[in-house]
Structures are given as C-alpha cells and as structure tokens.
Amino acid sequence: MFFLAALGALGGAVGVVAMRNPFYGVLALIVHLFSLAVLFLLLSAAFVAAAQVVVYAGAVMVLYVFVVAYVGGDTESAWEPIPGQRFLAPLIGAALFIELSVAVLGSSLLALGTEGPDVAPGFGDPAAIGKLLLEDFLLPFEASSILLLLAAVGAVVLAGRRERVDDAPVPGSAGTPGESRPAGPGTGAPQGAAR
C-alpha cells in the first residue's frame, strides 16, 4: 500500500514537472494530492488526510483549473534562455535530494527505523485535532484565519480592480466619462497612466 501511494505521489510530482500543458499539470497534481492523502492515512492522520482531499484536491485545484482555463493552456517556448538549464536543474535537484537524505538519515534519530510507537485509536482523528487547535494552538489558529482573510482581500484587490484602469482608453482616443479628469487619487491611476 505504501509503495503504491508513494509511486502515485512521485508520478504525480514528475508529471507536474514534465507536462507541457498546464492543465495536465494540474491533473497530475491532483493525483499527487490523493496519493499523499493515502500516505497520511497510513500515518494515522485521518483529519489531515480528509483536509487534504477536501481543501486541496477539492477547492484549491478547482481554483487552479479555473485560472488555467482563463489564462489558456499556452505552452511555453521550448528553448531555454540559460544554457544548460535543462541539464543543470536535475543535477541540482539530485544534489538537494542526496543532501536532505544524508541530513535526515545521518541524524541520530533512532526512532527513524521504527514504525513509531503504538498509538491510541483516536490518534489524529478530527476530535483530537480540533481539541488541539482550539485549546493549545488557539493563537496560531486565529492568526491563520486572519491570514486567510487577508489573502482573500488581497486576491480581490490584485485581480479584480484592473478592469476599470486598463479599459480606460489611451489619451487621444474616443473618451469615456472620466478620461478628461487628471490622474486623481483613484485606484491605481498612476499605474494606468504610466503605461
């Protein structure tokens, strides 16, 4: 079971890196996420696995699919601007992997070679995690919720407001109301004027 899930996770990861079409890359990442959820279940982290499937493979990937469909799956150009990038990058990746493995396996963590201690049946289920989140980790929990709120507001500001600014015609073309106004304290007007 572990090897099956590990193969899925690794295959998904390689698929993300290797696929030319971003849409297939997103699909490969979904495979990767599901395999990781299986691995989390094997590590008796039921709530994390459920959150992985629902939040990641559900919500975040839908967002990705929408953006890829909006932007269009145009493939990037085949040549690389940095010579030897295509050969150098796997080399660096392999070096990173070897370094990480040496660092972890060379450490004196004796429990690495075991399956971990026996845990109670409720280990990692939603009740236990929720209790931890709302009692011991209340402050990080609230901080992450504020972070989510900020990210949502930031995304709306980033992606939503450009409509009016960019659709304003360049000076000299047929005017829309408001064009004759000087660049006032409007939303992003200096950027629009700089173009």
Of residues 135-154, those binding other proteins (CB under 8 A): 136-137, 140, 144, 147-148, 150-152, 154
Of residues 70-99, those binding other proteins (CB under 8 A): 70-71, 74, 76-77, 81, 85-86, 88-90, 92-94, 96-97
Least distance between other proteins and beta carbon 170 (Å): 13
Least distance between other proteins and beta carbon 83 (Å): 13
Q: Which residues pair with 173 in a beta bridge?
A: 171
Asked if 100 is part of the footprint of other proteins (rule: CB under 8 A), the reply reads: yes
Of residues 160, 179, 182, the one with CA closest to residue 169: 179
Selected binder of other proteins within 4, 58, 62, 63 (CB under 8 A)? 63
Asked if 40 is part of the footprint of other proteins (rule: CB under 8 A), the reply reads: yes
137: exposed, middle or buried (C-beta count within 10 Å: 0-12, 13-18, 19+)?
Answer: middle
| Residue 59 CA: distances (Å) to CA of 22, 44, 158 | 18, 23, 20
Asked if 105 is part of the footprint of other proteins (rule: CB under 8 A), the reply reads: yes
Least distance between other proteins and beta carbon 185 (Å): 18
Asked if 56 is part of the footprint of other proteins (rule: CB under 8 A), the reply reads: yes
Distance, CA of 32 to CA of 6 (rounded, Å): 9
Selected binder of other proteins within 31, 43, 168, 189 (CB under 8 A)? 43
Of residues 88, 72, 69, the one with CA closest to residue 80: 88
Asked if 128 is part of the footprint of other proteins (rule: CB under 8 A), the reply reads: yes
CB under 8 Å, gap of 24 or more: what pairs does 65-68 form? 65/23, 65/26, 68/22, 68/23, 68/26
Closer to other proteins by Cβ: residue 55 or 183: 55
Q: Is 173 helix (H, G, I), strand (E, B) or coil?
A: strand
